[in-house]
Structure 1
C-alpha cells in the first residue's frame, strides 16, 4: 500500500498538469483565458444571473464544471490542410505514389475530406474557441454595468475593473461598482399642448407607473410611455406614437431627487416643404367597408356585388360568397365608435382565426367628406383562401407502446361550406408499426395495423339553441366543433373497432392566456373484435393461471396433452370457471382463489364492449408568451362525468335493460360506463440564461366509478412509467401501489406524480438534463381490494416510486429529439429495507426515446 500511494499521487499530479495545459493550448503567448468574472457592488459579490449576463465576455461554457466544448475545440487540428501537406511531403515518394492512384485534383480534395479535415472541422464547429480576455470588451462591460445601475436609480455610480492572473495563461476580470445613494422621484408634473388629450390623460392619471417617492427606474418610464400611447390610441387619437411622449428631469444632487416633467407637444405635420404644428385629433369611425376577394385598393373599382348590413358596407369583385352576419362576428370596429388599436387587433386576430381568409389588411383613411376632419374610414381587405384543399402527409412515429411506426394521412378541407365561414375537414389515416409488447406468433416486423376516417365541422361561434353571447362574448373567439370518427385496429391487443363523436365548445380570454373547453357530448363506443386473443396478449395472466392449474386443475379437457399447459382461451376460461364454481379444492378464503378471481374480473372487464357517453369541462392557463419563452407556468384542470345521460335516458324511456357478466346494466345490448373523473396538471419553468433552465411538473388525477360501474374503462384509466412519466420504469410497468407491476399493462384509477429536471446546453445543438421523477398509480373506491394495489391514506404515499437519470437531447429547431436514461432510485415493490438505490446500475438502465420535452 505504501508503494502504491506515491504512484497514485504522481499520476494524479501529472494528469492535473496535462489537463491544465490542454485547456490553454490555443491561447496565444501573453494572452489569458477568461476563467471567471466577478462583480462587486458596494463590496458585495453579485451572483444574480441577469446582472452577470450584462458582461460582453463570458467564460467558456462548462458541463458539470468541465469546459467540454473548449476541450473539443482544442482536440481539433489547427490547420488540417497544412498538416495534410506536411504529411504528404514527409517522405519523398509518398506524393508520387499517391499520384499513381489519384489525380492532382483528387489529392487536393482528399485534404478537405472528412477523413483528413472533416473531423477537425466538426470538433471546431461543435466545440468553442477559448475566450481570450479583451480589454476593449471589458471596457464595454464596464459601460453596460454603469448603464444598468444608472437605469435603476444610481445616477452617480462608478465602475472600474481589473484583470488578475489565476494561473498559466489564465485570468479573471473583477468589476467593482460603487452605487452611491439611489435617486427618487420628488414630483411629477405635465405639459400637454393639446387640451383634448390633456383631459384624456387625466382620466387614467392614477394608473401612472411614475409616482413621487418611488426610486427612479428607467423601466417605469418606458412602461409609462407605452401605457399612455395605448390609452390614447384606444381613445381615438389615431396619429399618436410612443415618441410623442418625452420627459424632462430636474436633478437635485444635494438630496438625490428628481422633478419629472411629462411633455407631449402637438404633432408635426409636413405641409409642402415645411413642418407645422397641429393639435392631436380624436377620431371617430364614419364608415366600415369590407372588401372580399380583394388584394389591394386598386380593385375597389372592380366591385360587382355589394350589400349594406347593420351599417357595414360589403363589396366583392365577384358574387359575395359569405353571409354578412358571419363576417361581422369577427369584426370589432364599429361605425360611430372611437378609433381603437385594440379593436383593430381583435378584428385582425378573429378574422385570421376563421381560416377562410389570408391574413387581413386593415387600413384607416381620413374621411374627405367630413368638414370637421375628425372622421376615419376603415377599409378591411380580405383575400379568400382556396375553397378546397387537399393535404397528404406521412410520418415516422414512436411511442411507449409502438417502438416504430409509419403513419399516413390524407385530409380534405372544404372552407365556408355553408357560407358562414364553417370549415369541414374529412380525413383518412393509416398506420403500420412494430411493437414488442403484443403477441407476434409469426414473428413479423410490422405487427400493428390501424386505419380510420374522421370528419370535423368547425363553426366560428357557439352553436347552441340558447343565446350565449352575454356569457361568452365574441371577444373570446368562441367556436364549436362537431366531430365523428371510425377507427379499426388489427394486431393491437384484442383488435378494436371504435366509433366516436361529439360536440364541444372552445373559447379564450382576449390575451390568449386562459382557454376553456366544454364537451357537451362525447361518445366513444369500443368493440373488441378478437377477444379470443386475450391470453396471447396478457401473457402474465396466462402464466399465473398456468402455474395454478398445475396444482388445482381437475379437468383434463383444459390441458393441452402435448405441452401439459392450459389451452389458451378454452382451457383458461374452463379452469377459471371450475375454480369460481367450487369444482376445485380452492375456497373463497384462499389467496390463490382471490388471485384467480382477480384475473377473471380483469378478463371480463377488458373483453367486453364498452360505451362511454360523457361531458367534460377543461380550463387551461399559460403565461408563455412565445415559443422562445423559457420562464412561464402552465396550469390545466379538467372534470369529466360519464354515464348520467344514458342512465336518465334508460329510466325516462323505460328501455329494456339486461345485466352484463359483471353484473352491470346494458342498454341496447351494450354495457355503459359511469364515473366522475377530475385531474390537475401544473408545469413551471425557470430560465437561468445561457440555455439553462429548471422545469417542474405536478399531476394529480382520480376517476371514481359509481352507479352502473365498479371500475373505470381501460381507455380512461391511468398508467405510470414511460418517456413522459416516471422514466425509471417502462410504460405500464409501474404499480399499482407496491404490487410490482405484475400485469402486462398495469393501470388504475388514481395517479399522483411529480417530475423535475435541470436542462442545460452541452454544445452546439446538443443539450442535456438531469431529472428526478416521483409517482405511482393506485386503485381507489373501485372493485380492487388487495391492499398492495389500493390507496388507503397518507401511509400509501410510501408507495411513491422515484426514478432518476440523465438525458441527452438534440435540438433540430422545429423539434427536439430526446434520449433519457432512467434508473429505479426508490422501488416500492421491493422489501422496505431494499427499496433505495438497488436499481441504479448500468445493467438496469431504462432507455426512453421521445420527441420534444416530456413536459
Structure 2
C-alpha cells in the first residue's frame, strides 16, 4: 500500500513539474505571470480583507489554497483550436493571468479612494512590483492611512418644519455623533436610514438625494464641522422648490389576472367588481380567490398615511399564496389643493391550478440495488383560498441479498400520502388580526406505507397537524399532533425463531418489530445567517443553527394512569391493546462557514442529540434512535455501521438495529474549494459516535460514560467531489477510517496501517452534508 501511494505522489510531482514548464509558452515576451497579490496596512482599523473587492486582477486560483492546478491543466493544452482536447482543457482549466500594470494602477486608486472615504483623507497607497524570476510578478499594495478626520460638531439645516419635527423625534437612532471618523459610508447609511424613516410617515416621493452634507474644516486641524441639509422638493431641476408632501392612501384596487400599461379609472371600467374590507376587487367572470382571502393579506389601508413598510409587508404576505405567479403594486398620485393622495393598484397573476409530476429513482441500501417510481398530483387553490392539496403514490422494489431460510428475496414498498396546506394559522377562535400578525401556514397530512420483506410485512399509518412560520432568517415549525401507528401483520417463522433466539441477548431487536403507537408533538427552530440554504450560501461567511425538541406519549400515559391505574401485565400501558411510546428527544446542530477567498472556504459543524425513553418505554422506537456513519456523519463508515461506543457487532444482516443509540455526537471539519467548471472539491475530517443511556446486555461497551466517551470517538478523513448544478448539488465522498474504537491495539489506528478494503467507505448524496 505504501509503495503504491509513493508511486502516485511521484507521478503527481512529475506531472506538476512538466505542467509548470508549459505555462511559459502562454506568457508573451516581455510580460509576466501574475503570481501573487497581497494587501498590507499600517492601521488595524483598515483591514486588508476589506479591500479585496477593489482588486481588479487576481492571480490564478489554487486548489485547497496550495496548488494552481487549474492553470496547469490549461497549460497542458496546445495552441491549435481545431483540436478538441485543447478546447476541452481550455474550458475546464484556468488561463494564466498575465500581469496588467493598468489594472494594478486602477486597483491602487480604488483602494486609496476607499480608505479616504473611511475618514483618512490624507491616505495613500503604494504599488510595489516584485519580479520573481524571468516570467513571474508579485504585487504588493501598501496602505498608509495617516490620521483620520473626526467630526467635531453636527448641525442641521432643515427649513421644512414638519420634516424637522419628525427627525427630532428620531434623533436617538442617528448614526452620526461627535468624535466619529468622517466615514462617507456611514454618512450614506444615515441618508438611507432617514429616507426609510420618512417614507414610513407618508413621504412617498422622498429619496436620499434630498439629504446633503457640508463638511467644514479649520486650518491645520482634522476636526470637521458637519452640516446636514434637507433640500426642498423639486420634480425637475427647473421647477420651483416646494415643501415635501405627505401622501394619504385614498383607494386600494386589486386587479385579478389582468394588467394595464396605464392605471386609470377608465381602464377598469366595465370589469366585474366587488368591495371587501375597504378595498375594491376587479376581475372578469369570477375571482379566482375569495375576496376575504385577498384583503386579509392586504396591509395598505385607505385613509392612512403612506408607509413603505406596508408595501413590503403586502408583498411578503401575498408571496405566501401559492396560487399566485407574481404580484405587483403600483401607485397613481392625485393632488387636490394642499392634499396629496395615492390610489394603489395591486395586480395579482395566478399560476396553473393543477399539475402532475413523475419521478423515477434508483436505490442502494447497503449494496442492495432497487428502483422506485412515484407520481404526484398538486392542486394549489382547492377552496379558492390558495389551499394546496398534494397527493402522492409511490412504489419501490429491491432485491435483498444475504438472507437465508426465506421463501423469497424481494422487498416491495407501496405508499400513498396526502397533505393539505393552508396559508394561514388554522385554529378555532383565533381572530383575523392574530392570524395576520403571526404569518404562519398550517398543514394537515396523512400517510400510509406498506412494506413487504422476506422476513415480515409492516404497515405504517400516520396523521399530522403542524404549523410553520418564518421571521427574517429564522424558520419555526410546531408539530401540534403527529400520530404514527406501526402494525406488523406478518412475520415469517424463520424471522420469529431469530427474534426468540435474540430476545434475552437483545430485547431492542424484538421491540423494533412489534406493533406500536407513537403520539408526539415537537418544535423545530432553524436559523441561517445568509438566508436560504443553497449552493450560493457557501459564497460568504455564514452560520446556521438548528434546534429540535419533541416528546411522545405523556398525555396518553396520564390518561391511561387515570383510567386503568396499572399497566397491562405489569409491563406497559396500551391504547387499543397496542403499546405506545413515551420519550423525550432533543437535537442541536451548528455549522459555521469561513470564507478564505472567493474559491476556498472552511466549514465547521457540531451536532449533538440526546433522547431518553421512560415511563411506558424501555427503549426508543427504532425510527427515533440515533445512528452514526454515512454521508452526513462520520464518512469513514457506511450508514448504521458505527457504534454504540466500542461495540464491534457481527456480520448478520439485521445487526444494523444494534448500531443505534440514545446519544449522538458529530464533529466535522471540511475544506471546500472550487476546482473548475461546475466541479468543487473537499477535504474533510470527521469524528463522532453514538452511545446508549441504559446498559444493553450484549453491548456493555456502548453505554455512555463521561470518563471514557471521548476515547470512543471514531475519526475519519477523506476527499470529496461536488457537482454544482445551481439547482442541485450532487456529492461523492470517499472516507478512510483513522481511529476505530471497535478495535484495540494496532487495528485501533488504521491511519498508521491503512487497509483500503477494510477502512474505505464511499458515499453518494444530494446536497451539502451540513
Q: TM-score, normalised by structure 1?
A: 0.81
Q: 1:822 aligns with which of 735, 753, 761?
A: 735
Task: Tell me the residue number matched to 1:754.
Answer: 667
Task: Tell me the residue number matched to 1:32.
Answer: 32
- Distance, in Å, in 2 between the alignment partners of 1:811 and 1:473 is 39
Cα RMSD, aligned residues only: 3.2
Q: 1:353 aligns with which of 307, 320, 338?
A: 320
Task: Tell me the residue number matched to 2:573.
Answer: 665
Contact 2:695 2:702 in 1 (8 A): no
Q: 1:243 aligns with which of 209, 224, 238?
A: 209
1:344 paired with 2:311, answer: yes
Name which of structure 1's ranges 725-734 and 281-290 shifts more when overlaid on structure 2: 281-290
CA distances 1:150-195 after superposition (whole Å, capped 9, x unpaired): 1222211222323222113122123333221122222222223432
Q: 1:516 aligns with which of 464, 476, 485?
A: 476
Question: CA 1:442/1:227 → structure 2, altered by over 3 Å: closer, same or farther?
Answer: farther
Q: 1:621 aligns with which of 514, 527, 530?
A: 527
1:66 paired with 2:67, answer: yes
Task: Tell me the residue number matched to 1:413.
Answer: 378
- Distance, in Å, in 2 between the alignment partners of 1:678 and 1:605 is 22
Question: CA 1:340/1:840 → structure 2, altered by over 3 Å: closer, same or farther?
Answer: farther
Shift of 1:139: 0.9
Contact 1:656 1:667 in 2 (8 A): no
Task: Tell me the residue number matched to 1:639.
Answer: 549
Task: Tell me the residue number matched to 1:483.
Answer: 445
Shift of 1:680: 1.0
Question: CA 1:621/1:19 → structure 2, altered by over 3 Å: closer, same or farther?
Answer: closer
1:787 paired with 2:700, answer: yes
Contact 1:612 1:673 in 2 (8 A): yes
Q: 2:296 aligns with which of 311, 325, 329?
A: 329
SS at match of 2:70: helix
Question: CA 1:461/1:747 → structure 2, altered by over 3 Å: closer, same or farther?
Answer: same
Name which of structure 1's ranges 708-717 and 254-263 shifts more when overlaid on structure 2: 254-263
Name which of structure 1's ranges 751-760 and 823-832 shifts more when overlaid on structure 2: 823-832
1:426-465 equivalences in 2 (<5 Å): 426-432=391-397, 448-465=411-428
Name which of structure 1's ranges 59-68 and 613-622 shifts more when overlaid on structure 2: 59-68
- Distance, in Å, in 2 between the alignment partners of 1:838 and 1:181 is 56
Q: 1:846 aligns with which of 755, 761, 767?
A: 761
SS at match of 1:21: helix
SS at match of 1:150: helix
Name which of structure 1's ranges 132-141 and 31-40 shifts more when overlaid on structure 2: 31-40
Question: CA 1:681/1:756 → structure 2, altered by over 3 Å: closer, same or farther?
Answer: same
CA distances 1:213-261 after superposition (whole Å, capped 9, x unpaired): 1123232122212211111111111001233332222244622233222
Question: CA 1:146/1:650 → structure 2, altered by over 3 Å: closer, same or farther?
Answer: same
Task: Tell me the residue number matched to 2:3.
Answer: none
- Distance, in Å, in 1 between the alignment partners of 2:95 and 2:12 is 27
Q: 1:301 aligns with which of 263, 269, 272?
A: 269
CA distances 1:398-443 after superposition (whole Å, capped 9, x unpaired): 5665876644333333344334443322222333456768889899
1:311 paired with 2:278, answer: yes
Question: CA 1:527/1:327 → structure 2, altered by over 3 Å: closer, same or farther?
Answer: same
Question: CA 1:251/1:26 → structure 2, altered by over 3 Å: closer, same or farther?
Answer: same
Task: Tell me the residue number matched to 1:565.
Answer: none
Contact 1:484 1:500 in 2 (8 A): yes
- Distance, in Å, in 1 between the alignment partners of 2:306 and 2:186 is 27
- Distance, in Å, in 1 between the alignment partners of 2:89 and 2:287 is 62
Task: Tell me the residue number matched to 1:559.
Answer: none
SS at match of 1:428: strand
Shift of 1:46: 9.6
Gaps of 5+ in 1: 1-10, 82-116, 534-567, 577-594
Gaps of 5+ in 2: 1-10
Question: CA 1:696/1:15 → structure 2, altered by over 3 Å: closer, same or farther?
Answer: closer
- Distance, in Å, in 2 between the alignment partners of 1:132 and 1:596 is 73
Contact 1:655 1:667 in 2 (8 A): no
- Distance, in Å, in 2 between the alignment partners of 1:225 and 1:532 is 76
1:770 paired with 2:683, answer: yes
- Distance, in Å, in 2 between the alignment partners of 1:703 and 1:210 is 51
Question: CA 1:460/1:792 → structure 2, altered by over 3 Å: closer, same or farther?
Answer: same
Q: TM-score, normalised by structure 2?
A: 0.89
Larger Rg, first or second structure (1 or 2): 1
Question: CA 1:467/1:136 → structure 2, altered by over 3 Å: closer, same or farther?
Answer: same
Contact 1:480 1:503 in 2 (8 A): yes
Shift of 1:318: 2.2
Shift of 1:835: 2.8
Question: CA 1:422/1:174 → structure 2, altered by over 3 Å: closer, same or farther?
Answer: closer
- Distance, in Å, in 2 between the alignment partners of 1:56 and 1:396 is 46
SS at match of 1:499: strand
- Distance, in Å, in 2 between the alignment partners of 1:24 and 1:737 is 56
Shift of 1:499: 0.8
Shift of 1:670: 1.7
1:370-385 equivalences in 2 (<5 Å): 370-385=336-351
Question: CA 1:439/1:277 → structure 2, altered by over 3 Å: closer, same or farther?
Answer: farther
For this pair of structures, how many residues does the alignment match?
A: 744
